[in-house]
A = this chain, B = another copy of it.
Amino acid sequence: MSIYRDRVSRATALMGEHSMDAMILVKPANMYYLVGDGRLCAYAMITREGEIGMGVPQTDLADVRALADFDHVAGFDDEVGMIHSIAHYFKQFGIQEGIVGVEYAFLPKPRMGMLTHPHAKPEAVEPVDCTPLMSKLRLVKDAGEIERLQAAARVADAGMQRAIERIRPGMTESQVAGEAEYAMRQAGAEDFYRTYVASGPRTNVAHGTPTHRKLQPGDLVMIDVHPVVNGYAADLGRTVCLGKPTAEQEAAWRLYVDALERTIAKAATGVDMAELERTMHGVFEDAGHKEHIFGPPIHGVGIEFEESPLPAGHAFFHGEPAPPPLAAGVTIAIGNCGLYTGAWGVREEDTVVVGDGGPRLLTHFPRQLQVGV
């Protein structure tokens, strides 16, 4: 049995528990997990019996046949054709009433309206959210997935290395991002999520998307990369100083590294996400930085660079239940929160696989605050 058919049979078991008769997936990460292909403007419909019908642009038929694992495929010309192909599968699969899972946390209303259009979905079929089901399914990574996550982490290390080798005063934040991205493409990334580079006072903002700000001598620079390799992502963040940091900056950075390492050390089977968060935040609080913490420090990493398990608060607002205690094979990034002092911030982030015997670090780029200029 292919890994995809094995995953589909785990999915259908969960669908049984949730009384779902079918799911229609359009989120690329979910499609990729279950059928091996997550192309844009396409869908995969999965019945509780494990039968799979895909719909793709008609141009893509040969390509999807070579890549995905399914029983039926329909090519369509446009949105109306897509809607009709869904109706056709409902008929073919004999589903004229019951419950269909759709991705409420991914689809804005007009796109939801396409999948549940009266010309697509039979009136007596009720849509429900399949977000929690799909997140549960993807939560624990198998050996093949961990190998891909490791490959992505190596590419993240390569991207960070080139960014830090090349970084100089006078470069823009965006140019630093460009160095990391170029190295990641060279090293085997087929894609990447947005690279963050923030410098100087901008290291204090929560989401440091790169700008045209030119780096100054003495700046702190926060770099955060997220390559995708063979469908899987990694998450790596480092803060460096272009020259000699102040005593205060160095102390904050050392504290952050200490907090991160203590938190990573605790990432073992059975531990609660909230406990990891308390550990990390606790180190900051004990050092008098209670007012300088922003953001929950941990999130899952897999096909998406930020996925389940999400911290309880975030999970709720992403349509998911609070995460269960960590299981072996769950992969997380630790260090998603910054220590923000007002004038500047520091942050280091690594990708870690949870194991019975403790954590296994996937990202290995050395921690070093001061870089030569």
Contacts and interface: CB of A to CB of B under 8 A. Distances in A.
Interface of A: 39-41, 57-60, 62-63, 77-80, 103-114, 129, 172-175, 177-179, 181-182, 184-186, 188-191, 194, 201-202, 204-207, 209-212, 230, 294-295, 313-314, 316-319, 338, 340, 342, 345
Nearest to A190: B174
Contacts of A314: 79
A212 B185 contact: no
A58 B211 CA distance: 20
State the number of copies, please.
Answer: 2
A317 B111 contact: yes
- Most chain B CB within 10 A, of A57, A184, A317, is at A317
Contact of A317 (B110, B178, B194): B110
B207 A313 contact: no
24 contacts: A40-B206, A57-B206, A57-B295, A58-B294, A59-B204, A59-B205, A59-B338, A60-B204, A63-B204, A104-B110, A108-B319, A109-B112, A110-B318, A175-B186, A178-B181, A178-B182, A178-B184, A178-B185, A181-B181, A181-B182, A182-B182, A191-B209, A191-B210, A212-B230
A189 to B, nearest CB: 6
A151 to B, nearest CB: 11
Nearest to A317: B79
B182 A62 contact: no
Contacts of A114: 317
Nearest to A78: B313
